[in-house]
Amino acid sequence: MAQPWRVVWITGASTGIGAEVARQLAADGVIVAISARSAEKLKAAADANSNLKPYPLDVTDAAAVTDCFASIERDLGPVDLVLAAAGTYSPVSLDDFSPAPFRTMYEINFLGVVNVLTAVLPAFRQRRKGHISWIASVAGYRGLPKAAAYGPTKAALINLGESLRPELEADGVAVSVVNPGFVKTPLTAQNDFEMPFLMEVDEAARRTIAGLASGRFEVAYPSRFVTILKIARLLPYRIYFALIRSAVLKR
């Protein structure tokens, strides 16, 4: 299937949704610059498809992110689409509550995207074209048990997109936020509870690509789960917390 982009840059491209989006785009003939901390995994992916170009990177290093983007554009030409997919997750337990997971997830999930934006936006705004997107989550819609560190970073990413979209759109730059539900990846494998509407990663990647190609601001899936959680945002706290206790905590 022909895609609307010639060159795409994806961070967090060694595993999960980022890796599968990169694989599918490369299979469709798109040149994809892939970034992640694991140079070994990036090389293995590039060895499997010559359209995948490895650029190892830690997104928490702002200067390195800027240098990486400059290298990609120098080597491959102007980037048409950026997908900031680098992220991490660990459930928060009240039994070993500490600042550590909050700090880690904030630096990777949120500031990692900010670092990518800082690197990319000057060129995109100057050219008055380009598409910048990042992976948030339906966990950012409302607070959920075990997601006390993860959920706020995703809520912040949704808010970030809402804040930037009007101004960047006026500059000719498209913005999209990807809000997946539960997707079968190494990160969700940590969960010890039943995950409703659990989706295979290849299907999540297909929906991500289709949504980005459509130019929508929010790309969210699966639709039934998204609808349920958006309705939950409208519920009064008394009803919402009662439902969470019975449906999620089972107590």
CATH of the domain at 182: 3.40.50.720
Whole-number Å distance between alpha carbons of 153 and 170: 26
pLDDT of residue 197: 78
1 assigned to some structural domain: no
Q: 10 - beta bridge partners?
A: 34, 83
pLDDT of residue 248: 64
113 assigned to some structural domain: yes
151 assigned to some structural domain: yes
Domain assignment of residue 35, given as a range: 7-247
Reported as a pLDDT band with limits 50, 70 and 90, residue 198 is confident
**1-52 per-position pLDDT tens digit:** 788 999 999 999 999 999 999 999 999 999 999 999 999 999 999 999 999 9
Whether residue 140 contacts residue 154, with contact meaning beta carbons closer than 8 Å, is answered with yes
Reported as a pLDDT band with limits 50, 70 and 90, residue 193 is low
Q: Considering 150, 221, 237, 240, which one is annotated as catalytic?
A: 150
Largest CA distance in the chain: 57
Q: In the predicted model, what is the mean pLDDT of the chain?
A: 94
Q: 11 - beta bridge partners?
A: 35, 84
**Per-residue pLDDT averaged across 100-114, rounded?**
97
37 assigned to some structural domain: yes
Residue 55 designated active-site: no
2 assigned to some structural domain: no
Q: What is the count of structural domains for the chain?
A: 1
Contacts of 192 (CB under 8 A, 6+ apart): 91
Phi-psi region of 84 (alpha: psi -120 to 50; beta: other; left: phi over 0): beta
197 assigned to some structural domain: yes
164 assigned to some structural domain: yes
**212-247 per-position pLDDT tens digit:** 999 999 999 999 999 999 999 999 999 999 988 876
Whether residue 116 contacts residue 42, with contact meaning beta carbons closer than 8 Å, is answered with no
Sheet of strand 81-84, all strands in order from the earlier edge strand to the far edge: 52-54, 31-35, 7-11, 81-84, 131-135, 174-180, 218-221
pLDDT of residue 56: 98
47-51, 55-59, 71-75, 92-96: which has the minimum mean pLDDT? 92-96
Whole-number Å distance between alpha carbons of 38 and 115: 19
234 assigned to some structural domain: yes
Q: Is the pLDDT of residue 249 over 70?
A: no
14-28, 141-155, 174-188: which has the minimum mean pLDDT? 174-188
Whether residue 195 contacts residue 222, with contact meaning beta carbons closer than 8 Å, is answered with no
